[in-house]
Structures are given as C-alpha cells and as structure tokens.
Structure 1
C-alpha cells in the first residue's frame, strides 16, 4: 500500500526532477552586502535590504533596549494580554509616514494581506486584482467571499473591463502591488485611481517593495505617483527596507483599521510583533525618513548596475527600481539561470535564480536587488561574476 508519506515523497521527486527544488543556503553572519555562507564569504545581491539597515548599529541598540524594557515576547495577542506603548506609538508613526489616518500592526505583511479582504468584503462585493500580485494578496482574496475579477499586469483596458463587469457590486476594491517583486515594475497608480473614481471603487496598494525608499522621503509608490489622497488603503512590511526583521501593517481610514482590530483573524489569533522588534523598527523608520542620502545612493547603484550589465550584453527588464531582473528566456532558460547563479556563488557573489512556477514559464531570471550599502566596487564585482559565470556555463553547454 502506498502511504501518505510515499505520496509526498513522489511529489518531492517530481519537483526535483523538474529542477524546481528550492534549497536554503546557510548564512553564518548578519545580513549585509558582505555576508558569510557555508561556502565562504560572499557579496549578497538577493536581499530586500534596500537601505542597508538590516545590520544597522542604531537599530540593533534600540532592539537591545527594547528587550531589556519589554522582554522577549508579548506571549499572546494584544486584545487578550495587553499591548505595549511601543506598538501603539509605532502604528501612529507608520500612519503619519504614509499619510493615512490610522494603522495596525500584524506579524507580517502576509498576515496583513490575509486579514484585509475577508474583513472588508462580503459576497455582495467585488475585488479586482492584478494578475502578478503577490501570493499573500492571492491567498487573502481567496479567504473572502467577494466576487473576484483579475486583469493582466498593469493593463488598464483590462482593469476597466473588470470594473464594468463588477458594476452591480456593493463595494468594489482594486488591489495591486505598488512594485511587482519579480519584475521591478511600478503599478500605474494614477491611471488606476482615475478608473477607481470613474467606477466608484476603492484602491488598495501593497507597498512592501517601496516603503522607506520609493517616493519623497520614502513614503511609497502613492507618493511617487502623486496620488497620496487617492489611494485608500496601504499594506506594507517591516521586513525589507525598514530594518529587515519581521512585521507588517495596514494603513488607511480609521474605520478600516478599527474593523480590522475587531475582525482581522491574523491580528486576533497571532502573537503581537515582538516588542523589541518594534523598538528597532521605530528607529529604522526614523532613519528612512531622514535617509535622502541613502535613497540617492540606492538610485545611483541601480543605475550603475543596469548600465554595466547592459554593456555586457545581458537581457534586463527595463525600469529604475533596485529590483533588476536579468532574464534567461526560453526552454533552457531555467537551467541556465540556475547554473549561473550556482557558479556565481563559487566566485563569491550570492544571487538567486527564479523559474516556473514562481515566474511565467519560459521567463526564467536571476533577480538582483541593489542596496544603498553596496559600493561601486561591490557592484563591479557582481557584474564581473555574471560575465565570468555566463561565459563558463555557455561554454560548457556549447561543448556538450
């Protein structure tokens, strides 16, 4: 008889045979541009450490002080065992930073997106979602009973058609990533807001890959697009530019936040974000607000990498975001991307390859993420490793 675990072993074998097994690489150092792996020292170009704050001494010190003052963990959810002042102060600071009336903290942005739709939407309502939205949005939408409509990535004709089809819904909510994490593309928020106003819809944006470093003072994609007052709801994370630890939030009208406090299941049934992490994140938020120099360096770093890689003949998706997709299209692209990423680690550069089903079939890539903490020499070393590994892998393939 085939057992339950035999069946699972068969699924795992199929994943391995397809070359899609995800393997974790052991780090033996803090996250920063210069890390140490089990294979030795390396330059990291695959972290969401956009402002270089993941190992910032001020943030670490604040977290240490938070541990001393508030202990290791909250040990329950906030409405049961109480909440720390650090949580409520930080919610006020996040709301002010992104220009919204109120905010609520979650253990992660995955949980924030998991709470949002079920609370706000019923079977009488409609949610309209971009086809390349993050998995947390997809899962959150599935939890709601709302009518579901999907439009192709950044396709405003498709969005308008979906809004027309949803015209009979009581509430209509458009949800989009502010930045699409596998491509580095920005959502066309001004056009989205125009259509939302035309058809009486609300707009929600997941700004995880923007908060702290995109737009004026790093306030986000809505600030970059000049639609701060036209985007109704924002979700975001503390796990990327804002220190890189954990935690997420929803920011928006007070009524939305109050209802999430009453009915948001990930808020009501998950431990609060550890107080020490909130203490560190508060400092990270301050550094981000003051970090015009960091944002300027990040922009220069992304531009320098794009220029050098283009000159070397690599296929890059266009854009200006520090997420830069180095493309390896076609049937053999997934194998090439994986081999090149593995070879680059041997040269001391840590990047990660992505292929189907994480990205569309035939659109494999190595996603590079720049940080303000990278130096020009770091970037040049990364590009040199790309060139050397590409030439070696392609040379071996041609020899076969």
Structure 2
C-alpha cells in the first residue's frame, strides 16, 4: 500500500497540488502566529471577528460550566439540551423563517437536506460552482443531477424546460460562492422556480452575517426570504461559533428530524458552541457597524488590487479572488507572501478549475487600513517580480 501511496503523492506533487497543514498557535485574529512566526491573516472566514470576541468566549465558558464539554449523544437520544431548542428559535427569528434545525456542521446540513428530500425519480439543478457539500448531497440522494453553467440563467431555463417527469425539482445554489465571492442571481432563480414548479435551496454559509438587513443573508439582500424553501447556513463563519443549520418551514423541520441521516446519526453540538452561536447571532443583529466595516474593507482592498493590475474577481462580499493561473505559480506567490509576513493560501484544482489557481483573500471587519495597505504593497511587489502585473509609472 505504501508504495502505491508514494507514487500517488509524487503525481500530486508534480501537478503542484500537494497540500500541507499550517499550525496556528493563536486564534483567527487579524494578526496570528503560524509555526512560530507572526503574520497578517487574510484567509479567515471569521469575517466579523466574533470567533475571538470576549463575549462569545464568556458565553461558551458558561455553557461548559452548566452543561459540560460535550453533548454526550445525538439529538434524538441524550444530546438535546434546552439550549439547542433556544438556538434553533434564535436562528428561525434571525432568518425570519417558521423554524430551524441545527446540524453539527454546514457540510452535514447540506448533505442532510438534499439526500433526504430528493429521491430516485427527482431532478436536482445544481450550479457548476456549488460547494463540495452540495455535490456530495446530490450524489447521496440518488436523484438525477443536472449541472447548469455558473449563474447562467439561460442555461438553467433551458435545462428546466428540457427536464420531464413526475418527480420533484430542486434548484440548489450557493448564496455567495466561496471562491469568487459573487452572489447568486436569486431573483431570476425564483422566477424560474415558479414557472417550472421547482423548489429552491440556498447555501448561505458566506452570506449569513454579511449580506442583507441585519446580516440575514442572500434572500433578505434581494427581498426574497419568503420564496426560499431551504436556507442552509453555518454558525462557524461570520457568527463566530461552530455548526450548521437549516431555516425552513415547521413541517420541513419535522421531516428532516426524522429522515436526514446526517442529523439522526450525528453527535449533537457541544454546549460551548451553542452558547457562542447564540451570542454571535445577537451581536450581528445589534452591531451593524461590524458588517459595514467588513464590506468597506473588502471594497477598498478589491479596488486597490484591481488598480495595481491584478485580475480580481468578486463583487460586494468579503471574498476576493486574485487570479494567478497555474498551480505552481499560485503556490510560489503564496510562499513569497509568507516570507513578507502575509498569510494567504493558494487555491488550486480540484477546488477551482484548471488554469484558474488563485489567492483567495478574505477580509475581516477587524483589519485596519494600515494592515490593508501593507498587504496591497506586498502583493504589488511580488506581482511585479513574478510578471503577473505591470504597474504603469513604477
């Protein structure tokens, strides 16, 4: 076995796709210590800085003191505490949904919804850039999966029109796409879903806490919260905690509770994660200035990098993709940034299409203007050295 694995790893290395762990000895602040060295961090999903907020730490500690460090079982056996119910009520209120159900991760939530709701004879229409957890959910469902071109509503309508059969139809899309940070064209999706009698599921992992009124997400951003059947989200990004959820109707919640295998057989979220998540939701709703600062920081960095001559993708969110191209070149750029004290990992195939390897930059509300300018200066310098950008007059 080891000989075969060694050959496979050699092939991976030759393609520039070797992956390594980086060890943090601090939390995801704007400045961190990795492998004993200090870096400015521009790769965390801790968008609002809540994962290291003292108030979430305090609530997490209180949860441990009252309930212990672990749930002790699945929600359907011994692991359902009163605070699980309270968290679900808070999520439902936050998302303006009838009900919510909590999973131990967003990955499990996506798998649980798709694999339990969609069956043989049904058809799923999935955006080509959807997250891996959505793809896995489609595979597990045994429904027919039709992939439409990324955010291409002409292609989606053509495929909806060509699809026949008596089974259910489900359109599933990320709300904010994790690699480019672009927002799904939800108004057009809703129109098509109504015309072709399809249900809609959105993965709001990168939109929750970032977009819409009070950070409620993509549907609220567009004013379409009443048109979505399943909104999946995570508690582990802007909300600063851990776990996933589905905001939906009361009857759909009851169905998932009895049918979603990734809910039935999961160990329940720990008390510390539950209490931190409840506090995170409260802060997001009561401190809109955090979200405003996050989006202001992202817009500034995006515009400055574009003016430097980089190919920059992304729109209004905290995710900025700086396109490099080749896997080896993206890795080299990332390594040079580390030498300069900036941590931005390279993203390579199969996570992104071949030839579009990139630096996936994520901004936090806690980044200062000085830190943003330092990152811009270092990226411009390396971009020129590598021949990726040419800056006029310099």
Same fold (TM over 0.5): yes
Shift of residue 307, structure 1, vs aligned partner:
2.0
Cα distance in 2 for partners of 1:121, 1:169 equals: 13
Q: Is it true that 1:59 corresponds to 2:59 in the alignment? A: no
Cα distance in 2 for partners of 1:383, 1:28 equals: 25
TM-score by length of 2: 0.96
Cα distance in 2 for partners of 1:172, 1:291 equals: 39
Query: 2:295 maps to what in 1?
Result: 299
Cα distance in 2 for partners of 1:116, 1:337 equals: 35
Query: 1:369 maps to what in 2?
Result: 362
SS in 2 for 1:179: coil
Task: Say what the alpha-carbon RMSD is for the aligned residues.
Answer: 1.3
In structure 2, which of residues 3, 7, 12 is the aligned counterpart of residue 6 of structure 1?
3
Is the CA contact 2:79–2:267 (under 8 Å) kept in the aligned structure 1? Answer: no
In structure 2, which of residues 171, 193, 196 is the aligned counterpart of residue 174 of structure 1?
171
Query: 2:329 maps to what in 1?
Result: 336
Query: 2:312 maps to what in 1?
Result: 316
Query: 2:392 maps to what in 1?
Result: none
Is the CA contact 1:126–1:169 (under 8 Å) kept in the aligned structure 2? Answer: no
SS in 1 for 2:100: strand
Q: Is it true that 1:281 corresponds to 2:274 in the alignment? A: no
SS in 2 for 1:186: coil
Alpha-carbon displacement from aligned partner over 1:144-170 (angstroms, at most 9, x marks no partner): 121211100001111112212333232
TM-score by length of 1: 0.94
SS in 2 for 1:81: coil
Is the CA contact 1:115–1:266 (under 8 Å) kept in the aligned structure 2? Answer: yes
Instruction: Name stretches of at least 5 consecutive residues in structure 1 with no aligned partner.
Output: 396-400
Count how many residue pairs are aligned between Structure 1 and Structure 2: 388
Cα distance in 1 for partners of 2:308, 2:79 equals: 57
Is the CA contact 2:187–2:222 (under 8 Å) kept in the aligned structure 1? Answer: yes
Q: Is it true that 1:193 corresponds to 2:199 in the alignment? A: no
Cα distance in 2 for partners of 1:358, 1:124 equals: 29
Query: 2:259 maps to what in 1?
Result: 263
Shift of residue 385, structure 1, vs aligned partner:
1.3
Q: Is it true that 1:387 corresponds to 2:384 in the alignment? A: no
SS in 2 for 1:344: helix
Is the CA contact 1:39–1:346 (under 8 Å) kept in the aligned structure 2? Answer: no
In structure 1, which of residues 121, 125, 129 is the aligned counterpart of residue 122 of structure 2?
125
Cα distance in 1 for partners of 2:331, 2:383 equals: 11
Shift of residue 39, structure 1, vs aligned partner:
4.8
Is the CA contact 1:128–1:174 (under 8 Å) kept in the aligned structure 2? Answer: yes
Shift of residue 365, structure 1, vs aligned partner:
0.9
Shift of residue 304, structure 1, vs aligned partner:
1.1
Query: 2:221 maps to what in 1?
Result: 224
SS in 1 for 2:69: coil
Is the CA contact 2:210–2:317 (under 8 Å) kept in the aligned structure 1? Answer: no
SS in 1 for 2:226: coil
Alpha-carbon displacement from aligned partner over 1:279-323 (angstroms, at most 9, x marks no partner): 011000101111210111111101110122122111111412110
Shift of residue 394, structure 1, vs aligned partner:
4.0
Q: Is it true that 1:69 corresponds to 2:66 in the alignment? A: yes
1:201-212 equivalence runs, <5 A = 201-212=198-209
Cα distance in 1 for partners of 2:231, 2:63 equals: 27
Q: Is it true that 1:44 corresponds to 2:41 in the alignment? A: yes
Shift of residue 6, structure 1, vs aligned partner:
1.9
Shift of residue 5, structure 1, vs aligned partner:
2.7
Is the CA contact 1:339–1:393 (under 8 Å) kept in the aligned structure 2? Answer: no
